[in-house]
Amino acid sequence: MYTKTSINQLKEAVADWTKANEAKFKTERKEFVTESGIPIKRVYTPLDLEEKGFDYLKDIGLPGAYPYTRNNSPVGYRGKLWESTAYGGKGTPEESNALWKSQMAAGAAKAYIAYDLPTQLGLDPDNKKAAGEVGRVGISMVSQKDWEVAFDGIDFHKMGVSQVLNAPAIFGLANHLTLAEKRGIDISDITGSQQNDVLKEYMARGNYVFPPAASIRLAGDILQHVGLHMPKYQAITVSGVHQSERGANNVNELALMMLNGMAYLQAGVDRGVDVDIMAPGVMFLPGVDHYVFFEEIAKLRAARRMWAKILKEKFKAKKPESMQYRIYGAHGGMGLHREQYLNNIARTALAAMAGALSGVEWLDTRSYDEQFGIPTTEAQVNTIRVQNVVAYETGVDATVDPLGGSYFVESLTSETEERAWKVMEDIEKLGGVVRCIETGHVQRMIAKDSYDWQKRFESGEIKRVGVNIFQSSEGEAEKPLRVYRSSPAIEKQRVDTVVEVKKKRDNQKVKRCLDELTALAREAPTAKNNMIPAVMEAVKEYATVGEVCDAFRTAWGEFREPNAF
């Protein structure tokens, strides 16, 4: 980018400047290192880009063009602002039906299903392992009966369904498809998405059921089915925020997200699906926080560049949409605090700004009362308004990739990318990401990041306002906010419902369907034995999530986590 003469002149100028200011440099307060451990220099110049071999067209190019570093769209927010969302859920299908109807009336085009833990772990409400957990952190929706109730009066032509289901994702999709089929809706018209990212469950979130190889097969079935029949549906949301919230530093989060995305696509390719059919349905859910502000931006810009290279070079994708890393930015709760909780509004605004400067397509932010429990309505509205302020009042939407070309940001983007490739290479050398989950290598890697961070935070090296600096005076207690807690009566109601369902259906037919599922699960996966039709058959007969998962457990067993530290 620069001529040899201009680089030499700059080198001389930097040398002179350094010499002239040596005494001043000694007055610096400390070494500056990001929370992920990347050292930050005093100042960045074209020399830093030169050192990285920076090539404008090859490395960043123009918005909407390969390698998409600057944005997936040539017009960015000048065309369309990012979509603001906030995650939440209610305990029963009846409550959710009312919620979604009111959201639909208010113009929402998507129903978000945040499931309770038993459903996410493939357990029915009447399983004794589910005691105390039914309907607590999300919706309990365990059979086609519940789907009929939850979506009564809701038109799938007008309302998409976004599900946060991973290990039993196939069950959720089969229910959506079954209900749509009963209503005579063409499968190609169905909209919505499925999280369907179970690898991050082993790495961080903990809601796994089956061993990794079996989980990859299930994810592959969904990718294949959606790829072949459901052009308006997103088959998978590959997450990074969960690894980040678990403690992974930004580089490790990025590397793991890339490896997981590649593992899923490979499962589909192995099943004979064209990568250009699958890849446009892949969306990413990386973390976006305020406390590693520039690193977050560098991470997301690097992610777009890396994914484009992976798709083009490794998977030989041809369509531009296949190479685009679509960002559903997710603000984590770990960066928010109880102490002086109103400070969280500032943190959320900064996280939203980091997302906006990175060009995210969707952004989900947390509320200021996140650390007290399930958010109050007031706080949930506030978090959307915080995003609105960033979107409408700051002018961040006026130009695409405002930080592109910054010596610092470009240098940090390249540094983050280099470090992430190295982590990916190390994991490949150890047998790949699935092997490294089985041995616990990835979990220990994240645990180490988390422990190191905790020690730096507790020592005061990492600062949080109101928590370990500028604290409120003794005796000035945090104000406990009113928290929503689900009613224990829900559990009883849900147990009664599922017991009733199991009594009323044709149990012989259910058993035949479940046996068929076990037999299918025992076969090696091929392009021809996708299990979705068989799961739909079971669902039509009102087989429950626990029963479908038990049919798989019989074939595959359950995952036992390796030593975590």
Partner 1 sequence: MQERKIRVLLSKIGLDGHDRGVVNIAMALRDAGMEVIYLGRHVFPEEIAQAAIQEDVDVVGISSLADAHMTLIPDLVKTLRKKGSDIPVILGGFIQPEDVPQLKAMGVAEVFGIGSKLPAIVAYIQSLKQTAVTP
Residue type, 432: G
DSSP string, 399-455: SSSTTTT-HHHHHHHHHHHHHHHHHHHHHHHTT-HHHHHHTTHHHHHHHHHHHHHHH
Which of 309, 312, 338, 511 forms a contact with partner 1 (CB under 8 A)? 338
CB proximity list for 261: less than 8 A, separation 6 or greater: 238, 282, 284, 307, 310
CB of 123 to partner 1, least distance (A): 7
Residue type, 554: T
Do residues 530 and 168 touch, judged by C-beta distance below 8 A? no
Residues 27-46 binding partner 1 (CB under 8 A) are none
The length of the chain in residues reads: 565
CB of 402 to partner 1, least distance (A): 34
Binding of residue 460 to partner 1 (CB under 8 A): no
Q: Closest CB to partner 1 among 128 and 429?
A: 128
CB proximity list for 62: less than 8 A, separation 6 or greater: 70, 74
d(CA 331, CA 336): 10
User: 């001389």: which residue's tokens?
Assistant: 12
Q: Closest CB to partner 1 among 74 and 480?
A: 480
Which of 130, 174, 219, 490 forms a contact with partner 1 (CB under 8 A)? 130
Which of 85, 207, 383, 411 forms a contact with partner 1 (CB under 8 A)? 207
CB of 429 to partner 1, least distance (A): 25
Between the alpha carbon of residue 115 and those of residues 48, 121, 187, 286, 413, the distances in Å are 47, 10, 24, 20, 36
DSSP string, 288-338: --STTHHHHHHHHHHHHHHHHHIIIIIS---SHHHH---BEEE--STT--S
Q: Find, among 363, 260, 351, the residue nearest to 306 by Cα.
A: 260
d(CA 357, CA 71): 10
Binding of residue 458 to partner 1 (CB under 8 A): yes
Q: Find the part of the chain contacting partner 1 (CB under 8 A) among 36-44, 112-120, 342-350, 354-362.
A: 112-120
Binding of residue 450 to partner 1 (CB under 8 A): yes
The two tokens of residue 461 are 């090296």
The two tokens of residue 295 are 């690193």
Binding of residue 469 to partner 1 (CB under 8 A): no
Which of 9, 454, 471, 472 forms a contact with partner 1 (CB under 8 A)? 454
Which of 74, 79, 132, 533 forms a contact with partner 1 (CB under 8 A)? 132
CB proximity list for 184: less than 8 A, separation 6 or greater: none
Q: Find the part of the chain contacting partner 1 (CB under 8 A) among 45-53, 65-73, 245-253, 350-358.
A: 245-253
Binding of residue 25 to partner 1 (CB under 8 A): no
Residues 247-266 binding partner 1 (CB under 8 A) are 247
Residues 359-398 binding partner 1 (CB under 8 A) are 371, 373
CB of 132 to partner 1, least distance (A): 3
Q: Closest CB to partner 1 among 37 and 333?
A: 333
Which of 480, 499, 507, 515 forms a contact with partner 1 (CB under 8 A)? 480
Binding of residue 561 to partner 1 (CB under 8 A): yes
Q: Find the part of the chain contacting partner 1 (CB under 8 A) among 52-60, 129-137, 157-165, 269-277.
A: 129-137
The two tokens of residue 379 are 């706080």
Binding of residue 492 to partner 1 (CB under 8 A): no
- Strand pairing category for 282-285 and 236-239: parallel
**How many residues in the shown chain lie near partner 1 by CB under 8 A?**
39
Binding of residue 479 to partner 1 (CB under 8 A): no
> Which residues here bind partner 1, judged by CB under 8 A?
117-118, 120-121, 123, 129-133, 136-137, 201, 205-207, 245-247, 337-339, 371, 373, 447, 450-451, 454-455, 458, 467, 480, 483, 485-486, 561, 563-565
